[in-house]
């Protein structure tokens, strides 16, 4: 079995650096809006019986004038899956349940209904296999074609740097994944989603790590532009009600279908960090 410790450390350092730059940019947007809101960082440690080095992470949370609630979390954890859960994870089994995982996860819920909410995460996992996964999707209560087109164009360009088939494949994966079957609707206007981008050797790691970095850069390049474009749009009570109802759908997806939520809860992650994806306020009719 390959020792991926060095690669895990490199990925962790990248995710932490991306977190810092994203948080700085979001705080800058708050300053432009006349707010002094800043991220509060809350370190946490994971517990696992018989594991002297289970890892942990840092939850970053900000509640401001523009960002009603935004969480940007980085975690690095290691240990063993439960036997029943190990059989559901790529490269793991009840006989070989060991794993490491490092990643960044972001969800932003915005105060203005015309500014889209967003989700982004990228991660590197090892079991008997090693792979990258992640993506981003835009979740506007009130969609604008310009925002949707620009968001997709940013990720199309990132994909094109690596493989001409990536964007179409990963866009479809996002469309299929970010879907609420019991409502018969998508939870937003999509983006990209990829998983099990396997690292069979060091060269594959470098290729897939670079792609994952480009995904992170694409997010940082486009989402703040969309926020600044819409942040001063006037909104009505009807707009706000539409946002709150849409947030209810978002919460349903994350609690019922989202694999990342399940992974975090089943591996002893920090509950507050895992559920930071839930909106600060929502309604159901």
Task: Indicate left, alpha or beta for 179 from its phi (over 0: left) and psi (-120 to 50: alpha).
Answer: beta
Catalytic status, residue 186: no
The Cα 19–Cα 228 span in angstroms is: 19
The tokens of 115 are what? 């500014």
Helices and strands (H, E) in the chain, number of each type: 8, 9
Catalytic residue among 109, 119, 152, 186: 119
Q: Kindly tell me the sign of the dihedral angle through the C-alpha atoms of 61, 63, 64, 65.
A: positive
* 3-state DSSP assignment of residue 157: helix
Residue count (the chain) = 285
The Cα 50–Cα 205 span in angstroms is: 30
Instruction: Residue 266: name the closest of 92, 14, 53, 12 by CA.
Output: 92
Instruction: Residue 136: name the closest of 122, 153, 115 by CA.
Output: 122
- Residues tagged active-site: 119
């Amino acid at each position: 079995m390959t020792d991926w410790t060095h690669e895990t450390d490199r990925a962790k350092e990248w995710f932490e650096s991306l977190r810092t730059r994203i948080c700085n940019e979001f705080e800058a947007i708050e300053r432009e809006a006349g707010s002094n809101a800043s991220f509060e960082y809350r370190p946490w440690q994971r517990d696992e019986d018989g594991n002297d080095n289970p890892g942990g992470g840092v939850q970053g949370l900000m509640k401001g004038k523009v960002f009603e609630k935004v969480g940007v979390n980085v975690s690095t954890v290691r240990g063993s899956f439960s036997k029943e859960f190990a059989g559901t994870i790529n490269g793991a089994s009840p006989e070989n349940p060991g794993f490491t995982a490092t990643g960044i996860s972001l969800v932003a819920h915005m105060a203005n209904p015309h500014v889209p909410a967003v989700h982004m995460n990228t991660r590197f996992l090892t079991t008997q296999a090693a792979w990258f996964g992640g993506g981003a999707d835009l979740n506007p209560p009130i969609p604008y074609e310009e925002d949707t087109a620009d968001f997709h164009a940013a990720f199309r360009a990132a994909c094109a740097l690596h493989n001409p088939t990536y964007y179409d494949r990963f866009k479809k994966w996002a469309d299929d994944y970010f879907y609420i079957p019991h409502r018969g609707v998508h939870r937003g206007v999509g983006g990209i989603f990829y998983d099990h981008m396997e690292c069979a050797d060091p060269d594959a790691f470098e290729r897939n790590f670079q792609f994952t970095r480009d995904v992170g850069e694409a997010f940082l390049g486009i989402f703040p532009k969309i926020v600044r474009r819409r942040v001063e749009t006037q909104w009505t009570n009807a707009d706000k009600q539409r946002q709150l109802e849409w947030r209810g759908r978002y919460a349903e997806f994350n609690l019922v279908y989202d694999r990342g939520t399940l992974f975090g809860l089943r591996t002893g992650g920090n509950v507050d960090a895992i559920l930071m994806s839930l909106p600060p306020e929502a309604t159901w009719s």
